[in-house]
Structure 1
Amino acid sequence: MNCYLLFILFTLNTLTLSDARQLFGNAGSDESAADKFFESAEKYNGTNTTLLAYKGAAYAIKAKFSKGLMDKKELFKTGAGLIENSVKKEPGNFEIRMIRLGIQVNAPKITGYQSNISEDKAFLLKEYKNQPADLKNLFKDFTKKNDIYTPEELKMIQ
């Protein structure tokens, strides 16, 4: 019985890719969505590199809505570190690179976290055709919410 309860509690606190994708998509412009994303991602202690990148994104987005300067700095630094570690472990991962691009294009200039924007933009356009349908749709939604690509570049993903 105790093992069964532990299993239930463990699975209730598990962040899935599907959940992370949905939460990430809504968190950037809505504080309550950002809080929900952070609360879900903060609990994740697994080893899935993509989910760790989403966890980093949750920290970085939480920083945007945080009140204190030190809190903002620490949250953002933690988030960027998680994202960069994920990219380092899986540099060819389309989704992780999309997460990093989304955070970098929306990061305040003072953070200095914009150095991979051009690289990630080019990588994502180049690798788009090789992605499964769910990631293609995720990327299309991402491009609609982030004004990063030119109309000519967007034609490449239609």
Structure 2
Amino acid sequence: MKYPWIDVKRASVCVFVILISVYVQAQSLNLNDVRRDFNKGVKNEDLCEKYHKTLEKEADTPVEKGYEAAFHMFMAKHTSNPIKKMSYFNGGKKLLEKQIANNPNNIELRFIRLCIQYYVPGYLGYSSNVEEDKMFVMNNLYKMSDENTKDIIYNYLKGAKMYNEEELALLGR
């Protein structure tokens, strides 16, 4: 039985568009997942690529752009091409520094930069803010209203052994 009001091609395209939009929504940015997996991006290439692509497309807020910058830098670890390595690193560094320049009191952005600068090889010359950011995060983390984010940051820093016991006590207040 034919239905003259139904165009099979148009109906197929509509179904396809609906399925694609459902898939894209499933791939949408979840900042809590990004925070939780932040320290895994350097080691896990697939995870790094996933967040890098998602953040490039969807990052809107300064914090999201900060994580985009971090995963951009992490991509340098997952390529063997030295030119690409420097391009990833410098591009991410530029984006992160821009976000911090525009939001100098954002605790999470300073945390991101602290973590990157603390672990990046010295020959890259990107470690001048370690002590400043370390003190800033230690003196301001307690002011964060989002308890989940505060816990993620505190637990990461506690495990990273950047702080001594006295500093950890201040950090965890």
- 1:6-21 counterparts in 2 under 5 A? 8=22, 11-21=25-35
Q: Which has the larger radius of gyration?
A: 2
Q: Deviations over 1:116-151 (max 9, x none)?
A: 101100000110221121222011122134221112
Q: Deviations over 1:28-80 (max 9, x none)?
A: 33333323332332333x43111111000001111122211111100000111
- 1:109-128 counterparts in 2 under 5 A? 109-128=122-141
Whether the aligned pair in 2 keeps the contact of 1:104 and 1:113 (CA below 8 Å) is: yes
Residue in 2 that maps onto 1:150: 164
Residue in 1 that maps onto 2:152: 138
Whether the aligned pair in 1 keeps the contact of 2:36 and 2:152 (CA below 8 Å) is: no
Residue in 2 that maps onto 1:60: 73
More displaced, 15-24 or 148-157? Answer: 15-24
Runs of 5+ unmatched residues, structure 1: none
More displaced, 82-91 or 125-134? Answer: 125-134
Residue in 2 that maps onto 1:99: 112
Residue aligned with 2:171, SS: coil
Percent identity over paired residues: 27
- Supply the distance in 2 between the matched residues of 1:67 and 1:21 (Cα, whole angstroms): 26
Whether the aligned pair in 1 keeps the contact of 2:137 and 2:171 (CA below 8 Å) is: no
- Supply the distance in 1 between the matched residues of 2:161 and 2:105 (Cα, whole angstroms): 23
Residue in 2 that maps onto 1:23: 37
Whether the aligned pair in 2 keeps the contact of 1:23 and 1:36 (CA below 8 Å) is: no
Q: TM-score, normalised by structure 1?
A: 0.85
Runs of 5+ unmatched residues, structure 2: 1-13
1:104 maps to amino acid: Q
TM-align CA RMSD: 2.2
Residue aligned with 2:76, SS: helix
